[in-house]
Every structure is written in structure tokens, then in C-alpha cells.
Amino acid sequence: VIVVDDQLLLRILIGQEPEQLRSARASGVATTMCWFYRLSRAIAAGSTTGKLSGRFAALNAPRQGEVTRLVNELPGGIVTLDPRVVVPVMSALSSVASANLLTTEAVATALVLDADIAVSVRSALLERTSEAADVRVVLFD
């Protein structure tokens, strides 16, 4: 199992992921509530403001709705952990490394699933926290 960030999640949803990621997720793919939420929020905000808004304007209304559904209707094959399982690990992890909610959830999820974390962008905080918990982070760009 591999835990993917928000941009890689969207690539998987549209079937445009790097070949190495396709191989890496052969035994399953997971994401976190925070990455799922951040992607959904970015798309929702982008529908009205920012650099994405011009691209949204190029789509007709039904297709704008399809973009939102694409992101918000996560397929059942993508694993997300029940908070009752992951929150105690997040809490315990905070005694090892101090991080924000997104990073703590990502590393805790990887620990529970015994998984690597796949990211599209490097994050010093994520790398520091994952190293403290002996979790591997792999960059796919």
C-alpha cells in the first residue's frame, strides 16, 4: 500500500499517474482526510478565484459539476482510515515529532498501513516527521 498526496490522488483519479506510481500502488493506494480535503477545497475555491478559475470558466456548467464530483466522490478502492484508528497514532506520534495536522495524519496513516508516502512536492516538515517515525517518503513528479 502507498499513501498519496492530493496532486497524485487527482492523477490517479484521471488515470494519468506516472508509471512508477502505478507500479508502486499495485498492492493498494490510500490517502488521508487532510489531502482529500485540501484537494476538494482547492478545486472548490478554484472554481471562483485564482489561477484555476480561468480554466473553470472554459468549462460549461455541467462539466464544472463533473470536475467537482470527480474529486469529491472518492472511489471505494482508495483507502482512508477511520479516525478511531488513526487518531490515537497521531496523538502518540506527536510525542516523537511536532508537526501540523496534515503531516501528522500522513505519517500516522503510513505507520498504520506499513506504507510509503508518495508526494508530488517535497516538504521539509513531512520529511523530518517521517524520518523520526522511520517512514519512507518518495517523490513522484
Partner 1 sequence: MATRIADLPQPLAAAVARARSQVSVRPKTLPPRDIDPVIAAWAKDAIDSGALAEAIAEVAAADPDLA
Q: Which residues bind partner 1 (CB under 8 A)?
A: 1, 6-7, 10-16, 26-30, 34, 37-39, 41-43, 45-46, 50-52, 55, 58-59, 63, 66-67, 70, 75-79, 81, 84-86, 88-89, 91-93, 95-96, 100-102, 110-116, 120-121, 125, 133-136
Q: How many CB atoms lie within 10 A of CB 141?
A: 9
Report in angstroms the alpha-carbon separations of 58 from 55, 64, 74, 105: 5, 9, 24, 35
Q: Which is nearer to partner 1, 20 or 136 (CB)?
A: 136
Cβ atoms of 107 and 129 closer than 8 Å: yes
Strand partners, 117: 3, 137
Q: Which is nearer to partner 1, 46 or 127 (CB)?
A: 46
Q: Shortest approach of partner 1 to residue 7 CB, angstroms?
A: 6
CA atoms within 13 A of residue 114's CA, in its CB half-sphere: 1
**Cell triple for residue 6?**
492530493
Q: Which is nearer to partner 1, 37 or 72 (CB)?
A: 37
Q: Shortest approach of partner 1 to residue 8 CB, angstroms?
A: 9
Q: Shortest approach of partner 1 to residue 66 CB, angstroms?
A: 5
Q: Shortest approach of partner 1 to residue 5 CB, angstroms?
A: 9
**Cell triple for residue 55?**
480554466
